[in-house]
Structure formats: structure tokens, C-alpha cells
Amino acid sequence: MESKIEKAVALFKEGYNCSQSVVAAYAEEYGLTREQALKISASFGGGIGRMRKTCGAACGLFMLAGLETGCTEGSNREGKEENYKTVQMLAREFERRNGSLTCAELLGLSKQAPTPPTPEERTTEYFKKRPCVKMVEEAARIWEEYRAGKRFDE
């Protein structure tokens, strides 16, 4: 279990965004190349495009849920329901552990503050003021627990 969690954290520390770190840690298990996983999850970092909306680590967790439980038939209402049920359960657990699903709230930022698209440099100071490593770790840990059979609110 720890190896995927550690891999996600290591990816974040290498400079990948929170969403990329979570998804790329599991890429091979879902038949994705590392490059595909990094590209498909690239837009979700910083609370979706650095807009500070839904936490990118949580978005990565939800992408994994789609890879695991997503349906591929447009008319499959039961499959959609099952996927949405899983995502909602994972979201509640992420929020329970971290206090929010919203990037700005997790960062302690004003929701009104405009956010430029330029990512910050990853320095020692960056890691001291940002809980992002913890969010990446928690998202990967929740996913590991889910895959091990844990159902959080049932």
C-alpha cells in the first residue's frame, strides 16, 4: 500500500501538480502510460487550472474512480449511478479528513482573490506554507483503502 502513496508524494515533490501526482502513481495499473496519465490530469492541478476550486488531489482521486468504476455505455444509468456513488463517497471521506474539497479553503486563501495562472516555484518555503503534499498523500491513501475494500460511509 505505502509504495503508491509514496510514489504520489514523490511525484509531487518532483514538480508535478497534485492531480498529476495522484493519477500518475497508478497509471500502469490502468493501462495508461506515464505520459498519458500526466497529460490527462494536467489541467486539474491548483484546484482545476489554478483557479482554486476543487482540490486537484481530490480530482485525481475522482479520475481514478472513473478508471475503476466508470461506465462506457451512454445508456448505462446503473453504471453511471455506481460511479457517482463511489465518487461521492470518496469526496465525503476526503472532506472529512481534510476539512474541505476546495483548494482555496485548504490553502487558507480568500475565495475572492484572483489567482494568476503562473505556478509557484517549489522551494522549501513553498512546502512549508502549502498543505498540498498532505492532500496528495491523503488522496492516494483513500484510494488504497478503497481498493482494499474499505467503504467509508456504509
Of residues 20 and 154, more confidently modeled: 20
Strands, E, within the chain: which ranges? none
First to last CA, the chain: 22
pLDDT (tens digit, 9 = 90+) per residue, 104-118?
999 998 766 677 888
Nearest-angstrom CA–CA distance, 24 and 38: 6
pLDDT, residue 121, reads: 87
Residue 46, all three cell numbers: 491548483
pTM: 0.93
138-105-52 Cα angle (round to 5): 90
Q: What's the pLDDT tens digit per position in 15-29?
A: 999 999 999 999 999
Contact by Cβ (8 Å): 84, 76 = no
* pLDDT at 38 > cutoff 90: yes
